[in-house]
Each structure stands twice: as structure tokens, then as C-alpha cells.
Amino acid sequence: MNPATLDARLSSTSQRQSFLPINRWFLWKEFRQLTPLVVVLLTAALVVIFFQSEFFTSAARLSPVTFLVFPGLFAVGAGTVLVGQEREHRTMDWLTTLPIPSRNLVLVKFTVSMVGLVLMWCLALLTMTLYGIGQDDSSNWLTYSRGRIASNQLVTLVRYPMWIVHSIYVLLCSFFASWRIKNQFIAIVLVAPLACIPLLFSETVLEGMYLASGQHLKPASMHWTRIVVSLLAVPLMGLLSYHAALRALSPQSGPSFRIVITRLSASKSAEESVTPSAPTFGSPTMSIVWQAMHSAPLVWIALLSMTLGGVCLPWLGSAGSDRMFSYRVDNPWTLISTLAVCWLGVSVFKNDGAAERLQFLADRGISPLKIFIGRHAIPLGIISLGLIAYGCIATYQSANATEIAEVRDLPSLLTVTLVAMVIYSVSQWMSQIVQMMILAAIIAPVASFCALSWWSTVARHGAPTWMLGMFAVLPMLATCCMMPRFMDMRDRPRSFILGFGIAFAMFALPVVPQFWQLVQVSRSNELPDYEKLRPLCEKIVAESKSASSPIRLLVAHKTTSGENMVTPSDATESDAEALDSVTWKSTVEPDEFLIPLTDLKQQPDAATTIPEPIWTALIDRLMWERLKFTQSPAETRSETIRSFADWIETASVIAQRLRLNPKWYDQEIADRLEVWLVDVLKNPELQPYELEPFFLQAAARFPERSQRSSARLRGVILSWQNWSYPTPEERKAFGFNRDPMVDRLAEDGYSLSFGIWMMSLESIAACAIETLETDGAAIDGRSWQRRMHRAVFYDRIPFELGPYSDRIRLPRAVTTIEREILYPARFWFLEWEDDAAALRKNAISTLASLKAEGEAQ
């Protein structure tokens, strides 16, 4: 390449470079700087959503607040990241030397953060829309909600406009604090009180209006007041932030000669003589406390105010008014004190607690434990003060309450202490693990929330209090163990490995008592012997899959979700007549939901099912029809028997088809229908009709003992498989969603924690299977009734009080048919089965002889 060409190229390159839009480059740099924050927040959001959906009760699942909090956290962090990092990396002065006007620097940073905020909001709103959250009664874009929810503080708080406007204000606050204050931590802490100013102001205005007029504004007006105040605060804070930025970016004047002289003389005198007022400490721990206290007094004041404010303000705010006094987790003041506890934890290993600064102490031979204690002294002191304040308020409130509602949501001092310990402990752990201060400040609340979710889950399931305390202390032990390495900055990667270990321990330790309970239950020999049962189960499951028997719903009632609704295409009114009166006609016409009985009769292999409410109505109707027949005068019997015969036939057809259904629940209903039928057919009043076709056919429809046992066994095993492997496909394969009996048992098992109730169901299944296999004989010297009682009731009630005792089993079976609560295997191996077998045998032989006679004739 000749020199002329080279010169020309260089010249053109230089020209191009000079025209490079430096703003675009700067924009790119800012976006890159902000990316970690966005990534961390999105990851944290995913983790929180997982925790909420997995471990919270349905009422609290995927709360809208979860989605709304993350744009807010972004707003808090954006300013600190974009400005604070310039300070941390000492690039602030370099920025001022760039050929970009300060105004542009400020605007670019603000624009980038606004783009990030818009992105966060879009993601939050999109996710909420996808999950269908927050649309209880009206759009969340309205400033008020209608109906009963209007008075609910939580829901009214999540109106979108208020949150969006306030997040812009918070973003400006974070810029203001970061431009204004050199210490990043103080800047972050300052954002919290600044963010509350419009809220406090609007509440003061509303309170003033209430005091002046004596009545509260309408909810919509109250929200508009809050939004207007926040809207007014946005330009004000923008202006303050802009001025703070210009001041920070302006070239700093050098120190004057006079000041230099003064400083020099001061340092000289300091060297010459020990200042009498300088504190001397015998204990290194106390000197660390002194250092922590004096290095950032503003931080402590701010955090102390937030802690005490969160405790006292809900109480003071409720004094003298009719508003609810509450420390619920959704109370904004409670959230502020929670955040304060988080940041107190973060403060332990940041600022003066950062590894670089602690190394100085390590070099002087100060014990890591003393430093650990010294760093925790002030935060723990502040938290203890808050807890004492809470204890006093809660005691006063509890002792003087006149309404239940005043104390209903008042957690005890022990609960609040443990919750605070979990939050603090996890936060200080995060502060040691995460090096970047701003990320630690944002990750700590999220990690604390996740830990708290798990903690509350294990607490709800009855973990002992000492275990809950241990849970709270574990991260403190971890940081204490890591102190020597942390101070020498040799803690990586060991801190991560230990971190995983601690996280695992926190997850696993509280489950130990539950696990022990599971072991105890499994030791009691009541669990199924899976190896023994496997061949049988596999055979029955395979048969049921290869069998083509259709599953038909006989009757079903409409549900709001449309489940179990039968299309009326194949129903006719005449066929439905036999059953229409057992249903509730006012809600649905019978031909809308009845499958023709004749269809069922024509298909001998058609299985059927019957929903719970229809079963109740059917058995009531059967009882009435029988009563009408038995109470009718002898001279009208020939007429009444015709109507009654229809019902006998209906009951016997349904019972027969229910036996084909692979649901245990339907086998139980079939038992009860057969009990009724046996009692009817054995009745002396029906003996004159024992040669009638309806009588003989009904008796012949009774299954043989072995058939009944096989049907039950199939029902038990397939229902067991359904609840053991409840995938939608498997459930669908059996033609039903949930077995009502299993649901009932599951409800009863709420007091048994974790998998205990599932184990209880398995015990029931195992007992049922073994009982059917041994034909009701005692196993290992214990009657199956006692085993079944223990499996169903656990240790809640004595055997004699339960449904398997002789008290309930010995009376005439038909008198003890229950309606709403169907206990499994209630009617197994009772006398009625022998009666059914005898009736069947007689009927079949009679039918055969009648047939033979017919053929002979």
C-alpha cells in the first residue's frame, strides 16, 4: 500500500472517528452496565414465582405484588448501578473529561434506565396477563375496584397506574441519591425514605381531609389523590436529581492553600500528641463497633428509622381511627421494616465490612470471631430494638383489644423474632457471597423471601420451634466459618461450595422430623408390600388398558367448569323418565344430562358412574319408593308393585354397571345399592313376586362373590394407581378426573403433614388389597377392620367409635347406609353378601327352569 493511500485511509478513518456518534457508544456502555441488574432481577423473579407457586397456599399463590415489586426493585437499583459504579470504578472524573456535555451524560443515563424500567413493566404486565392475575372484579388499570374488594388494602394497592407512576419517582430518587452521595450503601438506604415521601404526604393530606370533614373520601378519590401527589413529585425529584448530577459532574476545584496548611498542621499535632478525646479500647470488638458506628452514622439512623417506623407506624396510624391495625405481610409499613432488616444484614460485609477493609484488621491479628461479633453488634442491636418495640405494642394491643379483628393477625414476639432472624441471617450471608454491593442489596431481599417461604412452609407443617430457630441461624454459622478466608480474600470458591451445602441443609433439616414420622409409619408394617403387589397390579392395569369396555356417565350434574357434563345428543326424554325425579330439575332439565337407561341396558359391557349428589338423591328416592310400596294397602299392591319394580330394575342395572367401573368409589356405591337390593328382595312383602321377571332379573344381576371381589380389587388398584401417578393422561385414561372418595380422604388428611396423607392412602389401598386377597381373614393376628380403621383415621379416634367397629357393622346393613361420607370398605364381608349369593343362585336356577319349561311348552 502506498503512503498516499495510507494517509488518505487514515485521514478518512480519523474523520469517521471524529464523527462517530459518541452518544451512541455511551448509550451502549450504559446498557451493558445495566444488563447484570436486569438479569439478576429476572432470575430472582423466576425463583420467587417458583417458590410462591410451590410452597404457598392457594390464597397467596402468585400474588400480584410479586410481579409489581420487580420493576420497583429495578427503579431502586438502576440509579445506583449507573452512577454508583462510576464512583466505585473511579470513572466519574474520566466521564467529565469526555467530550460529552454533562447534560447529555445525565440524559443518556436516565434514558437507559427508563428503557429498562419500561422493559421490566412490560414483562411484569405480560406475565400477570398470562397468569390471569389481578382481575378479580375490574380492570387493574382503574384507580378503584368495585364491590367488596374495594375495602381490601392489598388489592387497591395493586392498581397499576399508581405503581407505575411511583416507580418513575423511585427511579429519580435513586439517581438523586447516587449523584448526591458518594457512599453507595447510604445512597441505596436513602432511596427508601425518599420513596415514602409522596406516600406520607398523600396520607397526611387524606388524614387532614378526614379530620376536617369527619369522613373518609371515596376509594377512587383517595387513589386519585395519591396518584396526583406522586405525579407532582416526579418533576420535582427530576429537577433535584438533575442539579445533583450537574454538581457531581462539574470539575472540582482544588483545595485552597489555607485548607492544606490547616490539614497539615492538624495531622502534625495528631502525630505529636494523642488527642485526649480519641477513644481507646481494650477490646478489639468494641473498637470495631466504634468504627462501624462512626463511619456511616447516617446509614444506621436511616435503618433504625425504617425498622422502628415499620413497627410503630401501623399502630400509631390506626390509633383513634376505625382502620384495621395489622402486621400482615402485605402491609406496606411491614415491608419497609422487612427491607430495613435485609439491608442491616447486607451492611455487615459491605462498606467497612468489605473484605478489602477487613484484611487490614486480619493483618493486625484480630480474631475473625471478634470481627464477626463486632460487625453484627449494631445491626442486631437495631433489630432487637425493633423487636422490643413490637413486643411492647403487641402486648398493649393484645391486652386492651375489644374486638377479635384487632388481634387476629397479630403475630407473636417469637414469630416476629424468628422471621426477622431468617431475613437478617440470609441477607448477611448474601452480603458475604455477592461482592457487588448493589447486587447484594437487591438479591438479599429476594433470597430472604425465598428462604422465608420455605421456612413458613415447614413451620405450617408442624416443624418444631427449635428446628425453625436452627433454620434461621444456619447462614450465620456459615458466614462465621468463612470469616478467616473472607478476611484474607481467599473465600472463593469455597464460599460457593459451602453456600450450596448450607442451602441444602436449610432445605433438608426442617424436613427431618417429617421424614422420621414417615419412617415410623412405614415401620408399622401398614404400607403396601410393593414387590408382592406389583405383579397383581401390573396384570390388572394391563387388562384394564386392553379392555375396550366403554365408560359411560349415567347422570352428571353441571359444574361451572363444564366437567362431567354429558352431551344430550343420545338422550331421550322417555328413557330419562325413570330417573328424572332424582335430579334437581330447577337447575338443569333432565334430558340435558341423562344418558338413556335403555342404552345402558342394551350394552351389557357398558360401565357407568354416578356423581355424589345424584347418588344421595337416588338412594333417597329408592327408600321412598320402597316405603310407598310397603305402606300401600294390600288391595292396591298390584299397582304399586309396577312402579316399584321399575326402581328395583333401575337400581340393579346401575349396580351391575357400576361394578364394571374401575373406580373404587363406584364399587362402594355398588355395594350400597346391592345392600338395598338384597334387603328389598329378602323382604317378606316381596315374596309373592319372587317369580316375577323383575325380581328374578334383579337377583340374577348380583355378581358372584368372586366377581364382586375382583371388581373391588380392580377398583382399588386402579384408583390407587390414579392417586399414586396422577398425571392428566392417566386420569383421562380412566375416564374421570378425581375419585371423590380419595378427595374426601385427602381432605381428612390435612393434619398429616407432607406425604403422610399420601402414605395413609397407600395404607388404605394396601389393607383393601390384602383383605380382598385373603377374603376378609385376619392378617398377622389383626383383623382387617382394625387395620383399615388405623389407615383411614390414623390415631384420631378409637376403633370402637369408628365405622369398622361392630357397633356400626353388626346392625342391619341397610340401616347404616351413609350419604355424604362414604368410608371405604364399609360394607365388605357382611352377611348381605351371602344373602345376595343365595338370591342369585335361586334366581338363576328359577330362570333356567322357567326357560326349560318354556321350551318344553
Distances (CA, A) of 260 to 257, 266, 267, 613: 5, 10, 11, 92
**401 touches another protein (CB under 8 A):** yes
At closest approach, how far in Å is the CB of 620 from another protein?
A: 4
Residue 333 dihedral angles phi and psi, to the nearest 5°: -70, -35
Contacts of 810 (CB under 8 A, 6+ apart): none
At closest approach, how far in Å is the CB of 452 from another protein?
A: 7
Using CB under 8 A, pick the residue from 205, 312, 335, 385 that binds another protein. 385
Peptide bond connecting 493 to the previous residue in cis, omega within 30 degrees of 0: yes
Q: How far is CA 471 from the centre of its chain?
A: 20
**250 touches another protein (CB under 8 A):** no
**19 touches another protein (CB under 8 A):** no
At closest approach, how far in Å is the CB of 158 from another protein?
A: 16
Q: Helix crossing, 297-318 with 332-347: angle to 10°?
A: 160
State which residue, 56 or 224, has the beta carbon closest to another protein.
Answer: 56
Scanning 393-401, 435-443, 519-527, 837-845 for contacts with another protein by CB under 8 A, the matching segment is 393-401
State which residue, 238 or 755, has the beta carbon closest to another protein.
Answer: 755
Q: Which residue, 366, 367, 371, 376, is CA-closest to 346?
A: 376
Contacts to another protein from residues 491-530, by CB under 8 A = none
Contacts of 526 (CB under 8 A, 6+ apart): 763, 766, 767, 787, 790, 791
State which residue, 449 or 695, has the beta carbon closest to another protein.
Answer: 449
313: left (phi over 0), alpha (psi -120 to 50) or beta: alpha
Using CB under 8 A, pick the residue from 247, 490, 545, 807 that binds another protein. 807
At closest approach, how far in Å is the CB of 857 from another protein?
A: 40
State which residue, 307 or 427, has the beta carbon closest to another protein.
Answer: 307
State which residue, 59 or 319, has the beta carbon closest to another protein.
Answer: 59
Q: What is the rounded CA–CA span in Å between residue 48 and residue 449?
A: 8
3-state secondary structure of 208: helix
Using CB under 8 A, pick the residue from 377, 477, 541, 847 that binds another protein. 377
Contacts to another protein from residues 36-75, by CB under 8 A = 56-57, 59-60
Contacts to another protein from residues 560-619, by CB under 8 A = 581-582, 584-587, 617, 619
State which residue, 180 or 789, has the beta carbon closest to another protein.
Answer: 789
Contacts to another protein from residues 750-789, by CB under 8 A = 750-751
Contacts to another protein from residues 130-169, by CB under 8 A = none
Length of the chain: 857
3-state secondary structure of 821: coil
Q: How far is CA 736 from the centre of its chain?
A: 26
DSSP string, 759-794: HHHHHHHHHHHHHHHTTT--BTTB-HHHHHHHHHHT
DSSP string, 487-518: HTT--TTHHHHHHHHHHHHHHHGGGHHHHHHH
Site string for another protein, 643-682 (x = CB under 8 A): ----------------------------------------
At closest approach, how far in Å is the CB of 27 from another protein?
A: 43
Q: What is the rounded CA–CA span in Å between residue 184 and residue 752?
A: 49
State which residue, 226 or 789, has the beta carbon closest to another protein.
Answer: 789
Q: What is the rounded CA–CA span in Å between residue 555 and residue 580?
A: 10
**413 touches another protein (CB under 8 A):** yes
Using CB under 8 A, pick the residue from 181, 344, 387, 822 that binds another protein. 387
Using CB under 8 A, pick the residue from 240, 407, 489, 844 that binds another protein. 407
**642 touches another protein (CB under 8 A):** no
Using CB under 8 A, pick the residue from 13, 465, 572, 683 that binds another protein. 465
Does residue 719 contact residue 731 with C-beta atoms inside 8 Å? no
**283 touches another protein (CB under 8 A):** yes
- Cα dihedral value 453, 454, 455, 458, nearest 10: 120
Scanning 15-23, 162-170, 457-465, 595-603 for contacts with another protein by CB under 8 A, the matching segment is 457-465
Q: Is 234 exposed, middle or buried (0-12, 13-18, 19+ CB in 10 A)?
A: middle
Using CB under 8 A, pick the residue from 605, 620, 704, 806 that binds another protein. 620
**424 touches another protein (CB under 8 A):** no
Scanning 230-238, 408-416, 521-529, 601-609 for contacts with another protein by CB under 8 A, the matching segment is 408-416
DSSP string, 510-552: GGHHHHHHHHHHHHTT-S--HHHHHHHHHHHHHHHHH----EE
At closest approach, how far in Å is the CB of 211 from another protein?
A: 25
Scanning 313-321, 438-446, 771-779, 797-805 for contacts with another protein by CB under 8 A, the matching segment is 797-805
State which residue, 229 or 617, has the beta carbon closest to another protein.
Answer: 617
Does residue 558 contact residue 593 with C-beta atoms inside 8 Å? yes
At closest approach, how far in Å is the CB of 743 from another protein?
A: 14
Scanning 92-100, 120-128, 363-371, 805-813 for contacts with another protein by CB under 8 A, the matching segment is 805-813
Would you say the C-alpha torsion 805, 810, 816, 822 has a positive or negative sign? Answer: positive
**289 touches another protein (CB under 8 A):** yes
**638 touches another protein (CB under 8 A):** no
Q: Which residue, 308, 350, 340, is CA-closest to 185?
A: 350
State which residue, 57 or 253, has the beta carbon closest to another protein.
Answer: 57
Q: What is the DSSP letter of 608?
A: E
Scanning 77-85, 155-163, 704-712, 790-798 for contacts with another protein by CB under 8 A, the matching segment is 790-798
Q: What is the rounded CA–CA span in Å between residue 840 and residue 626?
A: 21
Site string for another protein, 181-220 (x = CB under 8 A): ----------------------------------------
At closest approach, how far in Å is the CB of 169 from another protein?
A: 28
**814 touches another protein (CB under 8 A):** yes
Q: What is the rounded CA–CA span in Å between residue 340 and residue 423?
A: 10
Scanning 552-560, 723-731, 775-783, 820-828 for contacts with another protein by CB under 8 A, the matching segment is 820-828
Number of residues that bind another protein (CB under 8 A): 95
The C-alpha cell 414476639 sits at 413
Does residue 559 contact residue 574 with C-beta atoms inside 8 Å? no
Q: What is the rounded CA–CA span in Å between residue 739 and residue 611?
A: 10
At closest approach, how far in Å is the CB of 122 from another protein?
A: 28
Distances (CA, A) of 475 to 198, 426, 478, 678: 37, 6, 5, 67
Neighbours of 852 (CB within 10 A): 10
Contacts to another protein from residues 261-280, by CB under 8 A = 279-280
State which residue, 626 or 712, has the beta carbon closest to another protein.
Answer: 626
State which residue, 462 or 550, has the beta carbon closest to another protein.
Answer: 462
State which residue, 184 or 583, has the beta carbon closest to another protein.
Answer: 583
Does residue 511 contact residue 458 with C-beta atoms inside 8 Å? yes
